[in-house]
Structure 1
Amino acid sequence: MHCVRDCPLATKIWRAIRFVLPTSFFVPADFGSWIAMFHGFGLTALLATTWVVWKQRCRFYFAGDLREVHRVVREVHSLWEVIRHTHPSTTSARQVRLVQWQFPREGYVALNTDGSSLGNLGMSGFGVWLGTVMKFGCLALLATLV
């Protein structure tokens, strides 16, 4: 936390970026509690700014390049703009849809399947559930092919 928030240079950057900081911004001692104070674009801006502060720290310690705070702030604002333009916020409300399994009509059998490759162009798999629903329980056969 010291390197990206509490050292004198990082603190100057955080105070200069014109980001509304919570009053407890410099209090949490662990990273998880720190980022939990933000959500939405605020969280994205926090993480993007943390990245720029880290890069500045590395430039200074490994290359001796200490940039002026206003130059680092300009870099932060440029990154925020890129994020805003490449990931526009959606203002439309999400539509909630109930999805559930329903018993098949009498005389019919349900065959439920599931499959996924998640971008994997190699091996993929799928699963099949075959079953008979009875008044007193469920008799099922589960077969998974990989």
Structure 2
Amino acid sequence: MEPLLVDTTENPEMFFDLLPPDWREGIEPYWLEYRQSAHILALLAGEEVLGGGIVFATVSPDALSYRELAQSWFDRGFLYIGFLYFSEKHRGRGLGSLWITLLRQAFPGRKFWLTIDDRNLAPFYERNGFDLVRQIDGPYGDEWLLAG
């Protein structure tokens, strides 16, 4: 069965239940504040959530420490990809790339930006059409901003 990209914004627990506890704590308490300006997009195979991410049109809770920088990307028409996560058992199967491909199809003509806290993830995003733009001094260490 080919996985499908499904908007689970109205049923956030479908995606939140998949997240590790620290990631979940980073979004769930704030979700009511963001649900009107963000979309939770999950990759589903039948009823199983394989992974997904959240597309934000406003500064997300994980980007508050660099709010002005984040807002500058929104002002240029970019959307932010946050909380992109696939469970361990589904990694290494190309699902992250599929999610990005389906995301671009769902938002034709839009550009996206994201941050990573592991520099080793940059090649994955570069293969998927993102460019490494800059390093950010994040509240918990270095982060790297990619856009595309």
TM range (shorter): under 0.3
Greater Cα radius of gyration, structure 1 or 2: 1
- Tell me which protein shows more strand as a share of its residues: 2
TM score, norm. by length of structure 2: 0.27
Higher relative contact order (CA 8 A, sep 6+): 2
